[in-house]
Chain A
């Protein structure tokens, strides 16, 4: 199965990169842009056909390495590879 994982900063955690991007968007004339937050997108192919087992694997991958849960949240979608 294929996991599409997004890792985002928790609300309240300062994101200076997001702020810089927001500033650049404003400079380009996108006055509508606000509260920009930058995150990560990670794809992982999991050699597991059973969705429940794949889910459990991805859950552990996120907790143990892909996200630092002190400052980051993670979410993922699974689909047949």
Chain B
């Protein structure tokens, strides 16, 4: 499987993503600079975490209009799987590949900690190694992670099964206490309607190796390799 990681000025999880991808695929991904208009043929495109363009104007707003994104949007619409992590999720919403927006955390604080997530569906190319309803541990590190969409959009997301992950407690209960940032319906990640684009605030690549005290995230990458190679 050939993966590409898009690198924006201010990305800071691009290398972590590359390490996790290489561990799963056996080869390093292509690192593609935001200013490049060309993108190598890829089976998976990753938009990494960080603070692209210093989060100026709105998180992800500038990156969504960078030269390489025209090609990313084109590929995404043609069905190439795209994974946006943290700032990458913000970029995907600003690029309108995913609905809604990520707003300032309800606490107004930058939150950096491990959280539990409930896997809402296990039948997508991103979640083949998980079970539906499984509780996994990923890391979050963001200040603008409160998922917001209007009532109509939210109902559509819920009805179409586009919610990928929800914040929950270690037992899998989706509650207000387990919601770290004020996201509506405890949403931590969503799919587009074809489940080929996934955006999530938590970082699977940060808990993808025993040396990082967790490996739940690695299963997303190994699952992707298995489903995309099949």
Which residues on A are within 8 Å of B, measured CB to CB? Answer: 13-14, 16-17, 20, 40, 64-66, 68, 70-71
Knowing A65-B61, A66-B57, A68-B94 touch, does A16 contact B106 (C-beta < 8 A)?
yes
Tell whether, in the assembled complex, residue A14 and residue B108 are in contact, meaning their CB atoms are under 8 Å apart.
no
B129 at the interface (CB under 8 A from A): no
Which 7 pairs across A and B sit closest by C-beta, in order of nearness? A70-B101, A16-B108, A71-B101, A16-B106, A16-B104, A20-B108, A68-B101
B106's closest neighbor in chain A, by CB? A16
A41 to B182, CA, bound (A): 26
A17 to B99, CA, bound (A): 23
Tell whether, in the assembled complex, residue B61 and residue A13 are in contact, meaning their CB atoms are under 8 Å apart.
no
Majority secondary structure of chain B interface residues (helix, strand, loop or mixed): loop
Scoring B99, B101, B146, B149 by chain A CB atoms within 10 A of each residue's CB, the highest score goes to: B101
Tell whether, in the assembled complex, residue B148 and residue A13 are in contact, meaning their CB atoms are under 8 Å apart.
yes
Tell whether, in the assembled complex, residue B57 and residue A14 are in contact, meaning their CB atoms are under 8 Å apart.
no
A13's closest neighbor in chain B, by CB? B148
> Number of residue pairs across A and B with beta carbons under 8 Å?
35
Query: B105 CB to closest chain A CB, in angstroms?
Result: 7
Which B residues lie within 8 Å of A70 (CB)?
99-101, 148-150
Which B residues lie within 8 Å of A65 (CB)?
57, 61, 65
Scoring B58, B100, B107 by chain A CB atoms within 10 A of each residue's CB, the highest score goes to: B58
Which B residues lie within 8 Å of A13 (CB)?
103, 148
Query: A76 CB to closest chain B CB, in angstroms?
Result: 16
Partner of A16 from the list B100, B150, B182 (CB cut-off 8 Å) is B182
A14 to B107, CA, bound (A): 12
Beyond contacts A14-B106, A68-B101, A70-B148: 6 other A-B pairs, Cβ-Cβ < 8 A, are A14-B146, A16-B107, A20-B108, A65-B57, A65-B61, A68-B58
Which B residues lie within 8 Å of A40 (CB)?
57
Q: Mark B97-134, 1 if CB is under 8 A from A, else 0.
A: 00111011111100000000000000000000000000
Knowing A14-B182, A16-B182 touch, does A68 contact B61 (C-beta < 8 A)?
yes
Which A residues lie within 8 Å of B101 (CB)?
68, 70-71
A-B contact pairs, 10 of them (CB 8 A): A13-B148, A14-B106, A14-B146, A16-B106, A64-B65, A65-B61, A70-B101, A70-B149, A71-B101, A71-B148
